[in-house]
Structure 1
Amino acid sequence: MISLTIMPLIPPTALRPLAESDQALSQIQLIATDMDGTLTIDEKFTPQLFQALQKLQQAQIAVIVITGRSAGWVNAVNHYFPVAGAICENGGLFYQGDTTEFLVDIPDITQHRQNLAAMFQQLQQRFPQIQEASDNRFRLTDWTFDVAGLSQADLAVMDQQCAAAGWGFTYSTVQCHIKPHEQSKANGLQYVLQQHFSAISLAQVMTIGDSPNDVSLFNPVIFPNSTGVQNVSRYTDQLAHLPRFITPSPEGKGFCELVDRLICSK
């Protein structure tokens, strides 16, 4: 008997080469981009990245960083980067200038953190090897632990266990996140766009990412223009939505390719 491997079908409107994006890019007024694996190269920021961000600023194209990283880390990104704002903890909080805005309803932060810790302890009973992430102490809305060493089956079980307890769960190339069920990059970004960038339509927004916690940014019903940097291709069989376009190169190099093409399209 011959065993056939059935690969998931890729919609014809997804993962198009960046060379086919010029018409879409010509109308973009705001970029909402993931950070780790999308802006970084080998986990570092590069001079080329800052040059790309400066090009966008000079072209009056707003940039919002939207990442799973902690409130403590992202406050610095908002302050030091040439960006219009930053969303942290996968849609938990928004930083703009000197203001901070919660994007999820958490009446009691102390109790919320205790509830997150209890959920993490439940996961540890089944997966005793997992350890709290080093940046977890700087978080407000979610709880994180390192994704390294966990299989796809492990992650699926964790997702199911969190859902059964009323929590959301997601992961990136770096970390796993226990979070409020309604908390997502898409929900947080939509609120920020409505409240702070109401003159910009969703058709004028380009969302960019590289991993499973970016999947809501790839939903074409909400965001018709999305791009994955090349390294997103390793997750295509795990994503409910695929980006419309994909860059030739991975990580920050791919982001810079997108910026150069965007600037040329104007």
Structure 2
Amino acid sequence: MRPLHHMPRDTAWAVQVVLTDIDDTLTDDGRLGAAAYAALERLQAAGLIVVPITGRPAGWCDQIARMWPVDAVVGENGAFYFRYDREKRVMIRRFFKSEPERAEDRGRLAELRDVILAQVPGAGLSADQAYREADLAIDFREDVPALPPEDVRRIKFLFEQAGAQAKISSIHVNGWFGDWDKLTMTRLLLAEAFDMDLDAMASRIVFAGDSPNDAPMFAFFPHAVGVANVLDFAGELEAEPAWVTPSRGGAGFVELTEVLLQIRRD
């Protein structure tokens, strides 16, 4: 990982799309600050496509797509994208699986929830679980006392033992039954909503993230950026970002925004 200020000017100038994780990338201690929110607005005002890519639930993503200065949102680690057409006042909801498939999966995940909570004392059901459509989020440090790393890995193992996919974020372990991740749904979103070929556009896209569940994005995008707290996961990431900001969380995202916008002002 190289310091962000080493990013070449022509690389920053070429960026057309900014994709960003939310928790601990835009937020600090669970709160979205004014500067990070304004950075999203500034990027969009400059003509860049802005899309949060998050593990957060469908209920949150509906609000984000409607009210934030963003062009779409990918949620539940790639289970869907939502895009609000402001002219037609219509929410476009694109899921990886059908509603009957999601209903069946929710039953299986409910059984798995009980197994995990019984076998990993101190773990909790995420407070936002009621608003989820396609995955199960087990809290290990958002609203419960932080669990040790071995317990977090145990949660991931129990998901995988049951045949589910599992990813560790900075606050939750998310699990689901299905062959999607953040990158899979990002590919569909850009093709269907913006007529973009992800492979052809990869060098013109920046993804910002901070944790192991961002690894597929870090691996794919040659100019992926980690906010400084990504260094907390050194040695645990399956793939690392190309660049790292000086600051953590929302301040780091603001630093990335400055790099991308300064070249457009010069």
Q: Normalized against structure 1, the TM-score is what?
A: 0.89
Change (3 A) 1:202 1:104: farther
Q: Which residue of 2 aligns with 1:227?
A: 225
Tell me if the contact between 1:162 and 1:169 (Cα under 8 Å) persists in the aligned partners: yes
Separation in 2, partners of 1:49, 1:160: 34
Q: Does 1:18 align with 2:4?
A: yes
Q: Does 1:122 align with 2:115?
A: yes
Displacement after TM superposition at 1:214 (Å): 1.1
Displacement after TM superposition at 1:105 (Å): 5.3
Q: Which residue of 1 aligns with 2:22?
A: 35
Q: Which amino acid aligns with 2:76?
A: E
Deviates more, 1:235-244 or 1:140-149: 140-149
Displacement after TM superposition at 1:133 (Å): 1.3
Structure 1's unaligned 5+ residue stretches are 1-14
Deviates more, 1:141-150 or 1:253-262: 141-150
Q: Which residue of 1 aligns with 2:253?
A: 255
User: Which residues of 2 match residues 152-231 of structure 1 at below 5 A?
Assistant: 152-199=149-196, 201-219=201-219, 222-231=220-229
Q: Which residue of 2 aligns with 1:75?
A: 62
Displacement after TM superposition at 1:16 (Å): 0.7
Deviates more, 1:156-165 or 1:22-31: 156-165
Tell me if the contact between 1:84 and 1:96 (Cα under 8 Å) persists in the aligned partners: yes
Q: Counterpart of 1:108 in 2: which secondary structure?
A: helix
Separation in 1, partners of 2:251, 2:228: 9
Displacement after TM superposition at 1:151 (Å): 2.1
Separation in 1, partners of 2:63, 2:196: 27
User: Which residues of 2 match residues 237-248 of structure 1 at below 5 A?
Assistant: 237-248=235-246
Displacement after TM superposition at 1:126 (Å): 1.7
Q: Counterpart of 2:32 in 1: which secondary structure?
A: coil
Separation in 2, partners of 1:181, 1:265: 41
Q: Which amino acid aligns with 2:215?
A: V
Once the two structures are superposed, residues 6-25 of structure 1 have per-residue CA deviations (whole angstroms, 9 ceiling, x without a partner) of xxxxxxxxx11111113321
Separation in 2, partners of 1:164, 1:25: 42
Q: Does 1:112 align with 2:81?
A: no
Separation in 1, partners of 2:79, 2:39: 26
CA RMSD of aligned residues (A): 1.6
Deviates more, 1:55-64 or 1:185-194: 185-194
Q: Which amino acid aligns with 2:107?
A: Q
Structure 2's unaligned 5+ residue stretches are 85-90
Separation in 2, partners of 1:130, 1:106: 28
Q: Which amino acid aligns with 1:208?
A: A
Q: Which amino acid aligns with 2:155?
A: M
Change (3 A) 1:229 1:115: same
Instruction: Identify the structure with the greater helix proportion.
Output: 2
Q: Which residue of 1 aligns with 2:87?
A: none
Q: Normalized against structure 2, the TM-score is what?
A: 0.89
Separation in 2, partners of 1:214, 1:32: 11
How many correspondences in the alignment? 250
Q: Which amino acid aligns with 1:259?
A: T
Once the two structures are superposed, residues 107-164 of structure 1 have per-residue CA deviations (whole angstroms, 9 ceiling, x without a partner) of 4332221111111222223214322111101101101121123222222233233222
Change (3 A) 1:104 1:248: farther
